[in-house]
Amino acid sequence: MTALETDLLKTRAYIDGRWVDADSGATFPVVDPASGETIAEVPRMGAAETRRAIEAAQRALPAWKHRTAKERARILRRLGDLMMERCDDLAALLVREQGKPLAEAKAEIAYAASFYEWFGEEAKRLDGGVIPRPLPDRRIVILKEAIGVTAGITPWNFPSAMPTRKSAPALAVGCTMVLKPAEQTPLSALAVAALAEEAGVPAGVFSIVTGDAADAPAIGGEMTSNPIVRKLGFTGSTEVGKLLMAQCAGQVKKVSLELGGNAPFIVFDDADLDEAVAGALMCKFRNSGQTCISANRFLVQDGIYDDFVAAFTEAVSKLQVADGFTEGAQVGPLIDAPAVAKVERHVANALESGAELLLGGSRIEGQFFQPSVLTGVTMDMAMSCEETFGPVAGINRFATEAEAVRIANDTPYGLSAYFYTRDLGRTWRVSEALEYGIVGINTGFVSSEVAPFGGMKESGIGREGSSYGVDDWVELKYLAMGGI
Ligand code: ADP
Protein backbone atom coordinates (compact mmCIF):
# COMPACT_ATOMS: atom_id res chain seq x y z
CA MET A 1 0.00 0.00 0.00
CA THR A 2 1.27 3.49 -0.72
CA ALA A 3 0.30 6.47 1.36
CA LEU A 4 -0.92 8.20 -1.75
CA GLU A 5 -4.04 6.04 -1.77
CA THR A 6 -5.36 7.28 1.56
CA ASP A 7 -8.00 9.96 1.97
CA LEU A 8 -5.87 11.26 4.83
CA LEU A 9 -3.35 12.65 2.37
CA LYS A 10 -4.23 16.34 2.49
CA THR A 11 -2.42 18.76 0.24
CA ARG A 12 -3.97 21.99 1.46
CA ALA A 13 -3.50 23.75 4.77
CA TYR A 14 -6.27 23.68 7.37
CA ILE A 15 -7.31 27.10 8.64
CA ASP A 16 -10.52 27.98 10.47
CA GLY A 17 -12.06 24.64 9.61
CA ARG A 18 -11.37 24.94 5.88
CA TRP A 19 -8.84 23.32 3.56
CA VAL A 20 -7.11 26.21 1.86
CA ASP A 21 -4.35 27.15 -0.57
CA ALA A 22 -1.76 29.85 -0.05
CA ASP A 23 -2.79 33.38 -1.01
CA SER A 24 -0.13 33.27 -3.71
CA GLY A 25 -1.15 29.82 -4.86
CA ALA A 26 2.47 28.73 -4.42
CA THR A 27 3.33 25.24 -3.23
CA PHE A 28 6.43 23.30 -2.23
CA PRO A 29 7.24 19.62 -2.64
CA VAL A 30 7.20 16.99 0.10
CA VAL A 31 9.84 14.43 -0.75
CA ASP A 32 10.14 10.77 0.18
CA PRO A 33 13.59 10.55 1.78
CA ALA A 34 14.00 6.93 0.71
CA SER A 35 13.43 7.44 -3.00
CA GLY A 36 13.79 11.18 -3.56
CA GLU A 37 10.34 11.16 -5.19
CA THR A 38 7.97 14.06 -4.66
CA ILE A 39 4.91 12.66 -2.96
CA ALA A 40 2.82 15.82 -2.62
CA GLU A 41 2.81 19.59 -3.05
CA VAL A 42 1.50 21.68 -0.16
CA PRO A 43 0.86 25.42 0.21
CA ARG A 44 3.63 27.93 0.83
CA MET A 45 2.08 30.24 3.35
CA GLY A 46 3.35 33.30 5.18
CA ALA A 47 2.39 35.97 7.67
CA ALA A 48 -1.03 36.79 6.16
CA GLU A 49 -2.37 33.25 6.31
CA THR A 50 -0.88 32.77 9.78
CA ARG A 51 -2.60 35.93 10.97
CA ARG A 52 -5.93 34.67 9.68
CA ALA A 53 -5.44 31.39 11.49
CA ILE A 54 -4.59 33.25 14.70
CA GLU A 55 -7.68 35.44 14.37
CA ALA A 56 -9.81 32.35 13.82
CA ALA A 57 -8.26 30.81 16.93
CA GLN A 58 -9.24 33.92 18.84
CA ARG A 59 -12.82 33.74 17.60
CA ALA A 60 -13.03 30.06 18.50
CA LEU A 61 -11.51 30.49 21.95
CA PRO A 62 -14.46 31.58 24.13
CA ALA A 63 -16.77 28.75 23.12
CA TRP A 64 -14.04 26.11 23.33
CA LYS A 65 -12.78 27.36 26.68
CA HIS A 66 -16.26 27.41 28.15
CA ARG A 67 -17.16 23.88 27.22
CA THR A 68 -16.87 21.49 30.10
CA ALA A 69 -13.60 19.62 30.39
CA LYS A 70 -15.54 16.44 29.90
CA GLU A 71 -16.91 17.64 26.56
CA ARG A 72 -13.44 18.57 25.33
CA ALA A 73 -12.09 15.29 26.64
CA ARG A 74 -14.73 13.34 24.77
CA ILE A 75 -13.78 14.98 21.48
CA LEU A 76 -10.07 14.46 22.08
CA ARG A 77 -10.65 10.87 23.07
CA ARG A 78 -12.54 10.38 19.83
CA LEU A 79 -9.62 11.95 17.96
CA GLY A 80 -7.17 9.55 19.60
CA ASP A 81 -9.45 6.62 18.79
CA LEU A 82 -9.75 7.73 15.16
CA MET A 83 -5.97 7.89 14.95
CA MET A 84 -5.74 4.31 16.15
CA GLU A 85 -8.47 3.18 13.75
CA ARG A 86 -6.56 4.82 10.92
CA CYS A 87 -3.15 3.76 12.24
CA ASP A 88 -2.19 1.91 9.06
CA ASP A 89 -2.86 4.88 6.81
CA LEU A 90 -1.25 7.37 9.17
CA ALA A 91 1.81 5.17 9.58
CA ALA A 92 2.19 4.71 5.84
CA LEU A 93 1.97 8.44 5.30
CA LEU A 94 4.57 8.94 8.00
CA VAL A 95 6.97 6.46 6.42
CA ARG A 96 6.56 8.10 3.03
CA GLU A 97 7.39 11.59 4.21
CA GLN A 98 9.83 10.82 7.01
CA GLY A 99 11.46 7.49 6.15
CA LYS A 100 11.35 5.58 9.46
CA PRO A 101 10.60 1.84 9.43
CA LEU A 102 6.90 1.01 9.35
CA ALA A 103 6.95 -0.68 12.76
CA GLU A 104 8.42 2.48 14.29
CA ALA A 105 5.88 4.60 12.44
CA LYS A 106 3.03 2.54 13.90
CA ALA A 107 4.53 2.91 17.35
CA GLU A 108 4.72 6.65 16.79
CA ILE A 109 1.05 6.84 15.82
CA ALA A 110 0.08 5.00 19.01
CA TYR A 111 2.30 7.37 21.02
CA ALA A 112 0.85 10.38 19.19
CA ALA A 113 -2.74 9.26 19.76
CA SER A 114 -2.10 8.56 23.44
CA PHE A 115 -1.65 12.27 24.18
CA TYR A 116 -5.25 13.03 23.26
CA GLU A 117 -6.57 10.39 25.60
CA TRP A 118 -4.17 11.27 28.39
CA PHE A 119 -4.63 15.04 28.35
CA GLY A 120 -8.39 14.80 27.91
CA GLU A 121 -8.44 12.80 31.13
CA GLU A 122 -6.01 15.14 32.88
CA ALA A 123 -8.01 18.24 32.01
CA LYS A 124 -11.02 16.81 33.82
CA ARG A 125 -8.97 16.85 36.99
CA LEU A 126 -7.58 20.34 36.59
CA ASP A 127 -8.58 21.63 39.96
CA GLY A 128 -7.60 24.91 41.58
CA GLY A 129 -7.07 25.56 45.27
CA VAL A 130 -8.08 27.32 48.42
CA ILE A 131 -5.32 28.74 50.60
CA PRO A 132 -5.89 29.23 54.36
CA ARG A 133 -6.63 32.88 54.99
CA PRO A 134 -3.88 35.19 56.27
CA LEU A 135 -6.48 37.71 57.58
CA PRO A 136 -9.83 36.99 59.27
CA ASP A 137 -11.94 38.58 56.51
CA ARG A 138 -9.96 37.12 53.63
CA ARG A 139 -10.45 34.13 51.36
CA ILE A 140 -7.87 33.07 48.81
CA VAL A 141 -8.92 31.03 45.84
CA ILE A 142 -6.72 29.81 42.99
CA LEU A 143 -8.15 29.17 39.55
CA LYS A 144 -6.37 27.45 36.69
CA GLU A 145 -7.37 28.95 33.37
CA ALA A 146 -6.46 28.17 29.78
CA ILE A 147 -3.68 30.48 28.58
CA GLY A 148 -5.68 31.37 25.47
CA VAL A 149 -4.59 31.37 21.85
CA THR A 150 -1.36 29.44 21.40
CA ALA A 151 1.03 28.60 18.59
CA GLY A 152 3.09 25.50 17.92
CA ILE A 153 6.10 24.86 15.71
CA THR A 154 7.24 21.26 15.29
CA PRO A 155 10.13 19.33 13.72
CA TRP A 156 10.28 16.51 11.18
CA ASN A 157 11.62 13.64 13.29
CA PHE A 158 8.26 12.77 14.90
CA PRO A 159 5.83 14.27 12.39
CA SER A 160 2.74 12.93 14.14
CA ALA A 161 3.72 12.85 17.81
CA MET A 162 5.16 16.35 18.04
CA PRO A 163 1.99 18.07 16.81
CA THR A 164 -0.17 15.92 19.11
CA ARG A 165 2.12 16.31 22.13
CA LYS A 166 1.65 20.09 21.85
CA SER A 167 -1.95 20.35 20.74
CA ALA A 168 -3.34 17.73 23.13
CA PRO A 169 -2.62 19.53 26.42
CA ALA A 170 -3.41 22.90 24.88
CA LEU A 171 -6.80 21.87 23.52
CA ALA A 172 -7.63 19.77 26.56
CA VAL A 173 -7.41 22.69 28.97
CA GLY A 174 -9.33 24.99 26.63
CA CYS A 175 -6.64 26.76 24.60
CA THR A 176 -6.80 27.03 20.81
CA MET A 177 -3.72 26.47 18.65
CA VAL A 178 -2.21 27.39 15.31
CA LEU A 179 0.52 24.92 14.39
CA LYS A 180 3.25 24.96 11.79
CA PRO A 181 4.69 21.51 11.04
CA ALA A 182 8.19 21.09 9.65
CA GLU A 183 8.54 21.70 5.94
CA GLN A 184 9.89 18.18 5.41
CA THR A 185 6.86 16.50 7.02
CA PRO A 186 3.62 18.49 6.85
CA LEU A 187 1.43 15.57 5.76
CA SER A 188 1.19 13.78 9.11
CA ALA A 189 0.06 16.96 10.86
CA LEU A 190 -2.52 17.65 8.15
CA ALA A 191 -3.81 14.11 8.53
CA VAL A 192 -4.23 14.66 12.28
CA ALA A 193 -6.15 17.86 11.50
CA ALA A 194 -8.45 15.92 9.16
CA LEU A 195 -9.21 13.48 11.96
CA ALA A 196 -9.64 16.36 14.42
CA GLU A 197 -12.30 17.76 12.12
CA GLU A 198 -13.99 14.35 11.97
CA ALA A 199 -13.79 14.00 15.76
CA GLY A 200 -15.66 17.27 16.21
CA VAL A 201 -12.92 19.77 17.02
CA PRO A 202 -14.64 23.05 16.07
CA ALA A 203 -13.39 25.32 13.28
CA GLY A 204 -10.54 27.58 14.37
CA VAL A 205 -9.63 25.56 17.48
CA PHE A 206 -6.77 23.75 15.75
CA SER A 207 -5.38 25.14 12.50
CA ILE A 208 -2.39 24.01 10.49
CA VAL A 209 -0.36 26.52 8.51
CA THR A 210 2.15 25.05 6.08
CA GLY A 211 5.27 26.58 4.60
CA ASP A 212 8.65 25.80 3.15
CA ALA A 213 11.93 26.47 4.98
CA ALA A 214 12.09 29.96 3.51
CA ASP A 215 8.58 30.71 4.85
CA ALA A 216 9.31 29.65 8.43
CA PRO A 217 10.66 33.05 9.58
CA ALA A 218 7.53 34.84 8.35
CA ILE A 219 5.17 32.30 9.92
CA GLY A 220 7.19 32.23 13.14
CA GLY A 221 7.47 36.02 13.04
CA GLU A 222 3.69 36.40 12.97
CA MET A 223 3.21 33.83 15.73
CA THR A 224 5.69 35.61 17.98
CA SER A 225 4.68 39.21 17.24
CA ASN A 226 0.89 38.92 17.10
CA PRO A 227 -0.42 40.01 20.51
CA ILE A 228 -3.33 37.58 20.28
CA VAL A 229 -0.91 34.68 20.73
CA ARG A 230 -0.15 34.13 24.41
CA LYS A 231 2.17 31.18 24.19
CA LEU A 232 4.48 29.35 21.81
CA GLY A 233 5.35 25.68 22.08
CA PHE A 234 8.38 24.78 19.99
CA THR A 235 10.33 21.61 19.38
CA GLY A 236 13.43 21.84 17.24
CA SER A 237 17.00 23.04 17.24
CA THR A 238 18.46 25.04 20.11
CA GLU A 239 19.48 27.72 17.63
CA VAL A 240 15.94 28.34 16.35
CA GLY A 241 14.54 27.91 19.86
CA LYS A 242 16.72 30.73 21.15
CA LEU A 243 15.68 32.93 18.25
CA LEU A 244 11.98 32.30 18.89
CA MET A 245 12.41 32.82 22.63
CA ALA A 246 14.04 36.19 21.91
CA GLN A 247 11.18 37.09 19.57
CA CYS A 248 8.65 36.11 22.23
CA ALA A 249 10.42 38.30 24.78
CA GLY A 250 9.04 41.40 23.06
CA GLN A 251 5.57 40.65 24.42
CA VAL A 252 6.64 38.35 27.25
CA LYS A 253 4.85 35.46 25.60
CA LYS A 254 5.14 32.21 27.42
CA VAL A 255 7.30 29.56 25.82
CA SER A 256 7.73 25.84 26.08
CA LEU A 257 10.88 24.71 24.32
CA GLU A 258 12.05 21.19 23.59
CA LEU A 259 15.47 21.72 22.05
CA GLY A 260 18.60 19.77 21.22
CA GLY A 261 20.27 17.18 23.38
CA ASN A 262 23.68 15.59 23.61
CA ALA A 263 22.81 12.43 25.49
CA PRO A 264 25.50 10.46 27.27
CA PHE A 265 25.03 6.69 27.43
CA ILE A 266 27.15 5.37 30.28
CA VAL A 267 27.93 1.69 30.77
CA PHE A 268 29.46 0.88 34.17
CA ASP A 269 31.56 -2.22 34.84
CA ASP A 270 28.74 -3.89 36.74
CA ALA A 271 26.14 -3.43 33.98
CA ASP A 272 24.23 -6.35 32.52
CA LEU A 273 26.06 -6.56 29.19
CA ASP A 274 23.17 -7.90 27.10
CA GLU A 275 20.77 -5.32 28.49
CA ALA A 276 23.25 -2.52 27.87
CA VAL A 277 23.79 -3.59 24.27
CA ALA A 278 20.05 -3.89 23.63
CA GLY A 279 19.44 -0.48 25.19
CA ALA A 280 22.28 1.08 23.23
CA LEU A 281 20.92 -0.26 19.95
CA MET A 282 17.46 1.11 20.62
CA CYS A 283 18.72 4.39 21.95
CA LYS A 284 21.13 5.03 19.09
CA PHE A 285 19.45 3.56 16.01
CA ARG A 286 15.74 4.18 16.55
CA ASN A 287 14.64 6.64 13.86
CA SER A 288 18.15 6.24 12.36
CA GLY A 289 19.52 8.18 15.32
CA GLN A 290 17.38 11.20 14.51
CA THR A 291 15.83 11.91 17.90
CA CYS A 292 16.74 14.59 20.40
CA ILE A 293 17.06 11.87 23.05
CA SER A 294 19.27 9.58 20.91
CA ALA A 295 22.47 8.45 22.63
CA ASN A 296 25.14 10.80 21.30
CA ARG A 297 28.15 9.95 23.49
CA PHE A 298 28.88 6.40 24.59
CA LEU A 299 31.00 6.25 27.73
CA VAL A 300 32.10 2.76 28.73
CA GLN A 301 34.05 1.85 31.84
CA ASP A 302 37.45 0.13 31.49
CA GLY A 303 36.42 -3.24 32.94
CA ILE A 304 33.53 -3.88 30.52
CA TYR A 305 34.88 -1.85 27.63
CA ASP A 306 36.22 -4.65 25.39
CA ASP A 307 33.20 -6.88 25.91
CA PHE A 308 30.72 -4.07 25.31
CA VAL A 309 32.45 -2.80 22.18
CA ALA A 310 32.66 -6.32 20.71
CA ALA A 311 29.03 -7.23 21.47
CA PHE A 312 27.66 -3.86 20.43
CA THR A 313 29.60 -3.80 17.15
CA GLU A 314 28.42 -7.31 16.38
CA ALA A 315 24.80 -6.31 17.03
CA VAL A 316 25.10 -3.14 14.94
CA SER A 317 26.52 -5.13 12.04
CA LYS A 318 23.28 -7.11 11.91
CA LEU A 319 20.96 -4.11 11.63
CA GLN A 320 18.98 -4.15 8.45
CA VAL A 321 19.14 -0.93 6.47
CA ALA A 322 16.24 -0.52 4.07
CA ASP A 323 13.40 1.76 3.12
CA GLY A 324 10.72 1.89 5.76
CA PHE A 325 8.26 -0.36 3.95
CA THR A 326 10.70 -3.28 3.63
CA GLU A 327 9.80 -6.12 6.01
CA GLY A 328 12.29 -6.17 8.87
CA ALA A 329 13.80 -2.75 8.12
CA GLN A 330 15.52 -1.33 11.19
CA VAL A 331 17.41 1.69 9.88
CA GLY A 332 15.84 3.93 7.24
CA PRO A 333 17.18 6.90 5.30
CA LEU A 334 18.18 10.20 6.84
CA ILE A 335 15.72 13.03 6.36
CA ASP A 336 17.56 15.05 3.72
CA ALA A 337 20.89 15.74 2.06
CA PRO A 338 22.15 18.22 4.70
CA ALA A 339 21.51 15.55 7.35
CA VAL A 340 23.73 13.10 5.48
CA ALA A 341 26.39 15.76 4.99
CA LYS A 342 26.42 16.45 8.74
CA VAL A 343 26.93 12.78 9.60
CA GLU A 344 29.72 12.55 7.02
CA ARG A 345 31.38 15.62 8.50
CA HIS A 346 31.21 14.17 12.00
CA VAL A 347 32.74 10.87 10.92
CA ALA A 348 35.49 12.60 8.93
CA ASN A 349 36.28 14.92 11.82
CA ALA A 350 36.50 12.04 14.29
CA LEU A 351 38.77 9.99 12.04
CA GLU A 352 41.03 12.95 11.34
CA SER A 353 41.31 13.53 15.08
CA GLY A 354 42.38 9.98 15.87
CA ALA A 355 39.18 7.95 16.33
CA GLU A 356 39.11 4.39 15.04
CA LEU A 357 36.43 3.11 12.67
CA LEU A 358 35.15 -0.35 13.63
CA LEU A 359 32.11 -0.54 11.39
CA GLY A 360 30.44 1.43 8.58
CA GLY A 361 31.45 5.04 8.18
CA SER A 362 30.00 5.84 4.78
CA ARG A 363 26.89 6.74 2.90
CA ILE A 364 25.35 3.73 1.17
CA GLU A 365 23.36 5.48 -1.50
CA GLY A 366 20.87 8.32 -1.62
CA GLN A 367 20.21 9.34 1.96
CA PHE A 368 21.01 5.97 3.53
CA PHE A 369 24.03 5.82 5.83
CA GLN A 370 25.73 2.71 7.17
CA PRO A 371 25.16 1.94 10.84
CA SER A 372 28.58 2.82 12.19
CA VAL A 373 30.72 2.35 15.27
CA LEU A 374 33.78 4.41 16.13
CA THR A 375 35.99 4.16 19.19
CA GLY A 376 38.39 6.65 20.72
CA VAL A 377 35.81 9.38 20.22
CA THR A 378 36.93 12.08 22.61
CA MET A 379 34.86 14.96 23.92
CA ASP A 380 36.53 17.60 21.75
CA MET A 381 35.38 15.97 18.51
CA ALA A 382 32.39 17.39 16.59
CA MET A 383 30.51 14.14 17.17
CA SER A 384 30.65 14.67 20.93
CA CYS A 385 29.84 18.37 20.92
CA GLU A 386 26.96 18.46 18.44
CA GLU A 387 24.01 16.13 17.92
CA THR A 388 25.04 13.75 15.15
CA PHE A 389 21.42 12.86 14.35
CA GLY A 390 22.45 9.78 12.41
CA PRO A 391 23.18 6.05 12.80
CA VAL A 392 26.70 6.56 14.10
CA ALA A 393 27.86 5.53 17.57
CA GLY A 394 31.00 7.16 18.95
CA ILE A 395 32.46 5.36 21.96
CA ASN A 396 34.97 6.50 24.55
CA ARG A 397 36.20 4.88 27.74
CA PHE A 398 36.44 6.07 31.31
CA ALA A 399 37.88 4.82 34.59
CA THR A 400 35.81 6.16 37.50
CA GLU A 401 32.22 7.08 38.28
CA ALA A 402 33.24 10.66 38.99
CA GLU A 403 34.96 10.91 35.64
CA ALA A 404 31.86 9.59 33.82
CA VAL A 405 29.59 12.09 35.54
CA ARG A 406 31.97 14.96 34.86
CA ILE A 407 32.16 14.12 31.15
CA ALA A 408 28.42 13.52 30.92
CA ASN A 409 27.62 16.94 32.37
CA ASP A 410 30.28 18.77 30.37
CA THR A 411 27.85 20.12 27.77
CA PRO A 412 25.42 23.02 27.56
CA TYR A 413 22.64 20.50 26.91
CA GLY A 414 20.58 18.60 29.47
CA LEU A 415 17.77 16.66 27.85
CA SER A 416 18.31 12.92 28.36
CA ALA A 417 21.07 10.73 29.80
CA TYR A 418 21.29 6.96 30.21
CA PHE A 419 23.32 4.67 32.39
CA TYR A 420 23.58 0.97 33.07
CA THR A 421 24.53 -0.40 36.46
CA ARG A 422 23.23 -2.94 38.94
CA ASP A 423 24.53 -1.11 41.98
CA LEU A 424 21.80 0.59 44.00
CA GLY A 425 24.05 3.20 45.60
CA ARG A 426 25.53 4.15 42.24
CA THR A 427 22.06 4.36 40.75
CA TRP A 428 21.12 7.07 43.23
CA ARG A 429 24.45 8.90 43.14
CA VAL A 430 24.60 9.10 39.37
CA SER A 431 20.88 9.89 38.97
CA GLU A 432 21.26 12.82 41.32
CA ALA A 433 24.50 14.03 39.77
CA LEU A 434 23.38 14.05 36.15
CA GLU A 435 22.14 17.46 35.02
CA TYR A 436 19.45 16.11 32.73
CA GLY A 437 15.67 16.35 32.59
CA ILE A 438 15.33 12.66 31.72
CA VAL A 439 17.52 9.87 33.05
CA GLY A 440 17.17 6.34 31.69
CA ILE A 441 18.49 3.78 34.18
CA ASN A 442 19.00 0.35 32.65
CA THR A 443 16.77 1.36 29.78
CA GLY A 444 17.23 3.18 26.51
CA PHE A 445 13.54 3.90 26.06
CA VAL A 446 12.02 6.73 28.04
CA SER A 447 9.16 8.26 26.04
CA SER A 448 5.64 7.93 27.42
CA GLU A 449 2.63 10.19 27.57
CA VAL A 450 2.45 9.60 31.34
CA ALA A 451 5.96 10.94 32.05
CA PRO A 452 7.30 14.50 31.93
CA PHE A 453 9.51 14.97 28.88
CA GLY A 454 11.82 17.97 28.79
CA GLY A 455 15.27 19.29 29.32
CA MET A 456 17.51 21.29 31.62
CA LYS A 457 20.08 23.90 30.58
CA GLU A 458 19.98 24.79 26.87
CA SER A 459 17.78 21.79 26.08
CA GLY A 460 14.63 23.65 26.91
CA ILE A 461 11.93 25.01 29.14
CA GLY A 462 8.82 23.20 30.31
CA ARG A 463 7.65 19.62 30.22
CA GLU A 464 5.41 17.70 27.84
CA GLY A 465 3.38 14.69 28.88
CA SER A 466 2.23 13.67 32.39
CA SER A 467 0.13 15.68 34.79
CA TYR A 468 3.00 18.19 34.99
CA GLY A 469 2.62 18.81 31.26
CA VAL A 470 -0.78 20.40 31.82
CA ASP A 471 0.77 23.24 33.82
CA ASP A 472 2.51 24.60 30.75
CA TRP A 473 -0.85 25.47 29.17
CA VAL A 474 -2.66 27.11 32.08
CA GLU A 475 -2.35 30.34 34.01
CA LEU A 476 -2.88 30.55 37.74
CA LYS A 477 -5.33 33.20 38.78
CA TYR A 478 -5.37 34.28 42.41
CA LEU A 479 -8.67 35.62 43.72
CA ALA A 480 -8.17 37.71 46.84
CA MET A 481 -11.58 38.04 48.45
CA GLY A 482 -11.98 40.59 51.21
CA GLY A 483 -14.72 42.00 53.41
CA ILE A 484 -16.13 38.63 54.32
P1 ADP B 1 15.73 20.77 12.74
O2 ADP B 1 17.19 20.90 12.85
O3 ADP B 1 15.11 19.68 13.53
O4 ADP B 1 15.21 20.85 11.33
P5 ADP B 1 14.79 23.43 13.16
O6 ADP B 1 14.88 24.16 14.45
O7 ADP B 1 15.52 24.00 12.00
O8 ADP B 1 15.21 21.98 13.53
O9 ADP B 1 13.29 23.24 12.72
C10 ADP B 1 12.25 22.93 13.60
C11 ADP B 1 11.03 23.72 13.20
O12 ADP B 1 11.32 25.11 13.29
C13 ADP B 1 10.57 23.49 11.75
O14 ADP B 1 9.17 23.51 11.72
C15 ADP B 1 11.14 24.67 11.04
O16 ADP B 1 10.44 25.03 9.86
C17 ADP B 1 10.98 25.75 12.08
N18 ADP B 1 11.83 26.93 11.91
C19 ADP B 1 13.09 26.99 11.45
N20 ADP B 1 13.53 28.26 11.44
C21 ADP B 1 12.51 29.03 11.91
C22 ADP B 1 12.33 30.43 12.16
N23 ADP B 1 13.29 31.31 11.93
N24 ADP B 1 11.13 30.83 12.66
C25 ADP B 1 10.16 29.95 12.91
N26 ADP B 1 10.26 28.63 12.71
C27 ADP B 1 11.42 28.17 12.22
Note the residue count of the chain: 484
* 365-382 pLDDT tens trace: 999 999 999 999 999 999
Name the residue with the closest Cα to ligand 1, atom 2.
237
Name the residue with the closest Cα to ligand 1, atom 18.
216
Give the burial string for 312-329 (b: 16+ CB within 10 Å, else e): bbebbeebebbbbbeeeb
Name the residue with the closest Cα to ligand 1, atom 14.
182
Ligand 1 centre distance from Cα of residue 409 (Å): 26
If you compute the radius of gyration of the chain from its CA atoms, what whole number of angstroms results?
A: 23
* 297-317 pLDDT tens trace: 999 999 999 999 999 999 999
Ligand 1 centre distance from Cα of residue 373 (Å): 29
- The minimum-distance atom of ligand 1 relative to the CA of 183 is 16
Sign of the C-alpha dihedral, residues 296, 302, 308, 313? Answer: positive
Ligand 1 centre distance from Cα of residue 237 (Å): 7
CA–CA distance, 311 with 278 (Å, rounded to integer): 10
Q: Give the confidence band of 443 by pLDDT, cuts at 50, 70, 90.
A: very high
**Over residues 52-70, mean pLDDT:** 98
Predicted local distance difference test score (pLDDT) of residue 371: 98
Predicted local distance difference test score (pLDDT) of residue 4: 64
Show which residues are catalytic: 258
* 240-294 pLDDT tens trace: 999 999 999 999 999 999 999 999 999 999 999 999 999 999 999 999 999 999 9
Smallest CA-to-CA distance from 358 within 291, 300, 408 is with 300
Q: Give the confidence band of 5 by pLDDT, cuts at 50, 70, 90.
A: confident
Ligand 1 centre distance from Cα of residue 314 (Å): 36
Report the chain's terminal Cα–Cα distance, integer Å.
Answer: 69
Name the residue with the closest Cα to ligand 1, atom 22.
217
**Is this complex's ipTM strictly greater than 0.90?**
yes
* Residue to mutate, 208, 235, 240, ligand 1, most ligand atoms under 8 Å from C-beta: 240
Q: Which domains are assigned to the chain?
A: 13-259+459-464+472-477 (3.40.605.10), 264-441 (3.40.309.10)
Residue 3 has pLDDT above 60, yes or no: no
Ligand 1: residues with CB < 6 A are 153-155, 180, 182-183, 213, 216-217, 220, 236-237, 240, 243-244
